[in-house]
């Protein structure tokens, strides 16, 4: 525009100029507008993804945080030796004859008696309904306690035990009087009684360590279900995956990048690695089932088989990331090393790998993170089974014992009908996320350490 005016109208300006720097040309305006638009798209995209993330985290946390709390009751229990050790000889084998039913009855009677003792009104609640406050898990715990230490028989102990899932839910707000009216498992009168027990300090909610340590529990006892076995299983698998996938992946990448001749075969290998990275994970599960369980006869549901499958699954990702990191090391560094007479191997290990380490690390952590959250292949090799016993220690063959994994536990709880399991499922997701965050922090710290570039 300025062009046109200054060209047509002679001005008295000292130096004739074609355009002023103080006004933008039409083209410049267009370019600037395009740039602002692009920035706005970027900000919109980031805002959108952040808000979706926030919503996701919010739902998970609002559903799941309560899994870390647990309603427990606490009241004095007199361990009646007559009932719990009828022969009176404190022989373990003899005492084992008293099943959990015996303990259940004892606890029920004592709770009813204790409430009456304290003068807490149990109006409208039958003795059976009071007994229903006690989790089915609790008598078994008391039995284990007594069997482990028969000397406490005859004494009166302050016993703490889980309340059932519905009462637990009431303390956490999941069960309300509205839902209780529609629920055959709990009545409004029971909730009133629960209120009175809370105010008397018999019933309370506290942090639930057993959610992290206890093994899974059956459908009737959501309050007793924990992540212990899944955590051990996931930890074993991650450990095995790291020690298998890192050496394999890095060695393969170094060979392919630095040593392998570039010919049709290596091209073929390259294409296949990329293809393998895109294979759906469940296919690796089928492969693992066929090879490791049916052919090699490794034990089903074991962390070893899970780790082998996850290693196969993450290997291509790690090879691709590692090769990219190695390729990003400037060739002039290789020339420099070769030029002073370093061998190829020395060049790679003294110069290329240290420079590629941060990239390799990032790739590895990404691969491990996806392996940690992987469910489908583990379902196929039987890791979804209900496992009530802890696997043995890592040196006692624990990697061959049946176990589950965190994401599988999430899946199996989410598919049970009791809403208490949904809460646990969300709680397990929180633990899984915490695991991931810890792994990422470790990765960042390691990166920092390696990235201390000169």
Partner 1 sequence: MYDAPTPETRLTQNTLKITARGVQVYYGDKQALKDVNVDILDNTVTAFIGPSGCGKSTFLRCLNRMNDTVASARVEGEIMLDGENIYDKRVDPVQLRAKVGMVFQKPNPFPKSIYDNVSYGPKIHGLTRSKAELDQVVEDSLRKAALWNEVKDRLNEAGTGLSGGQQQRLCIARAIATSPEVLLMDEPCSALDPIATAQVEELIDELRASFSVVIVTHSMQQAARVSQKTAFFHLGSLVEYGDTSHIFTNPSDPRTESYITGRIG
Which parts of this chain interact with partner 1 (CB under 8 A)?
261-262, 330, 332-344, 346, 350-351, 355, 453-454
- Which lies closer to partner 1 via its Cβ, residue 235 or residue 342? 342
Provide, rounded to whole angstroms, the least separation between the CB of residue 332 and partner 1.
4
Question: Smallest distance from the beta carbon of 262 to partner 1, in angstroms?
Answer: 6
Tell me the three state secondary structure of residue 175.
coil
Phi/psi at 217 (5° precision) = -130, 165
Contact (CB, 8 A) for 421 and 225: yes
Q: How far is the CB of 256 from partner 1 (least distance, A)?
A: 14
* Burial grade of 80 (CB within 10 A; 0-12, 13-18, 19 or more): middle
Instruction: Decide if 232 contacts 391 (C-beta within 8 A).
Output: yes
Residue 71 backbone phi and psi in degrees, to 5: -75, 125
Phi, psi (deg, nearest 5) at residue 195: -55, -45
Compute CA 434 distance to the chain's CA centroid, rounded to the nearest angstrom: 7
Q: Which is nearer to partner 1, 304 or 337 (CB)?
A: 337
Beta carbon nearer to partner 1, 18 or 453: 453
Task: Please tell me the distance from the alpha carbon of residue 84 to that of residue 386, in angstroms, as a whole number.
Answer: 30
Return the number of the residue (295 or 454) whose C-beta is nearest partner 1: 454
Per residue in 385-416, is it b (16+ CB within 10 Å) or e — as a string?
Answer: eebeebbeeeeeebbbbbbbbbbbbbbbbeeb
State the nearest-atom distance from the C-beta of 331 to partner 1, in Å. 9
Q: How many CB atoms sit inside 10 A of residue 127's CB?
A: 14
Rounded to a whole number of angstroms, the minimum distance from the CB of residue 343 to partner 1 is 5
CB-nearer residue toward partner 1: 339 or 397: 339
Q: Min. distance of Cβ 444 from partner 1 in angstroms?
A: 21
Shortest Å, Cβ 254 to partner 1: 16
What are residue 203's DSSP bridge partners?
73
Q: Rounded to the nearest whole angstrom, what is the least distance from the CB of residue 359 to partner 1 in the complex?
A: 14
Distance of alpha carbon 167 from alpha carbon 180, whole angstroms: 10
C-beta of 8 vs 332, nearer to partner 1 = 332
User: CB-hemisphere CA count at 13 Å for 207?
Assistant: 3
What's the length of the chain? 454
Which CB, 4 or 340, lies closer to partner 1?
Answer: 340
CA distance 360 to 325: 6
> Which residue, 131 or 338, is less far from partner 1 as judged by CB?
338
The minimum distance between CB 338 and partner 1, in angstroms, equals 6
The total of other beta-carbon atoms located within 10 Å of residue 307's CB is: 25
d(CA 413, CA 410): 5
Structure tokens at 199: 């105010």
Instruction: Quote the CA–CA distance of 220 and 146 in Å, as a whole number.
Output: 24
Q: Which is nearer to partner 1, 119 or 331 (CB)?
A: 331
């Amino acid at each position: 525009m300025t062009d046109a005016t200054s060209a047509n109208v002679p001005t008295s300006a000292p130096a004739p100029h074609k355009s002023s720097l103080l006004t933008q040309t039409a083209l410049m305006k267009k370019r600037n507008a395009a740039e602002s638009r692009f920035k706005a798209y970027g900000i919109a995209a980031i805002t959108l993804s952040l808000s979706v993330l926030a919503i996701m985290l919010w739902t998970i946390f609002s559903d799941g945080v309560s899994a870390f709390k647990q309603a427990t009751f606490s009241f004095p229990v007199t361990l009646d030796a007559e009932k719990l050790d009828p022969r009176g000889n404190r022989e373990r084998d003899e005492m084992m004859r008293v099943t959990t039913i015996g303990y259940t009855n004892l606890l029920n009677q004592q709770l009813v008696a204790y409430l009456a003792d304290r003068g807490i009104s149990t109006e409208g609640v039958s003795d059976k309904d009071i007994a229903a406050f006690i989790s089915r898990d609790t008598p078994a715990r008391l039995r284990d306690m007594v069997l482990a230490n028969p000397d406490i028989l005859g004494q009166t102990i302050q016993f703490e035990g889980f309340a059932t899932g519905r009462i637990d839910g009431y303390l956490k707000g999941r069960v309300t009087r509205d839902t209780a009216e529609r629920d055959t498992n709990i009545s409004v009168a029971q909730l009133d009684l629960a209120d009175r027990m809370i105010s008397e300090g018999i019933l309370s909610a506290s942090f639930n360590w057993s959610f992290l340590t206890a093994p899974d529990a059956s459908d009737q006892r959501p309050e007793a279900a924990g992540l212990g076995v899944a955590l051990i299983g996931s930890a074993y698998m991650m450990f095995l995956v790291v020690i298998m996938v890192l050496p394999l992946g890095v060695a393969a990448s170094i060979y392919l990048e630095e040593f392998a001749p570039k010919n049709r075969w290596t091209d073929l290998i390259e294409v296949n690695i990329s293809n393998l990275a895109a294979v759906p994970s469940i296919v690796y599960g089928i492969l693992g089932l066929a090879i490791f369980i049916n052919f090699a006869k490794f034990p089903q549901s074991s962390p070893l088989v899970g780790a082998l499958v996850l290693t196969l699954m993450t290997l291509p990702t790690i090879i691709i990331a590692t090769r990219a990191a190695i390729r990003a090391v400037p060739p002039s560094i290789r020339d420099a090393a070769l030029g002073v007479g370093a061998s190829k191997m020395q060049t790679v290990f003294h110069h290329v790998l240290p420079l590629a380490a941060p990239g390799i690390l990032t790739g590895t952590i990404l691969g491990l993170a996806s392996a940690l959250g992987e469910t489908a292949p583990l379902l196929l090799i039987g890791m979804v089974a209900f496992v009530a016993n802890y696997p043995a220690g890592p040196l006692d063959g624990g990697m061959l014992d049946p176990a589950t994994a965190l994401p599988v536990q999430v899946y199996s709880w989410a598919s049970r009908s009791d809403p208490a399991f949904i809460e646990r499922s969300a709680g397990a997701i929180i633990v899984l996320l915490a695991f991931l965050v810890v792994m990422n922090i470790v990765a960042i710290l390691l990166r920092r350490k390696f990235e201390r570039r000169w």
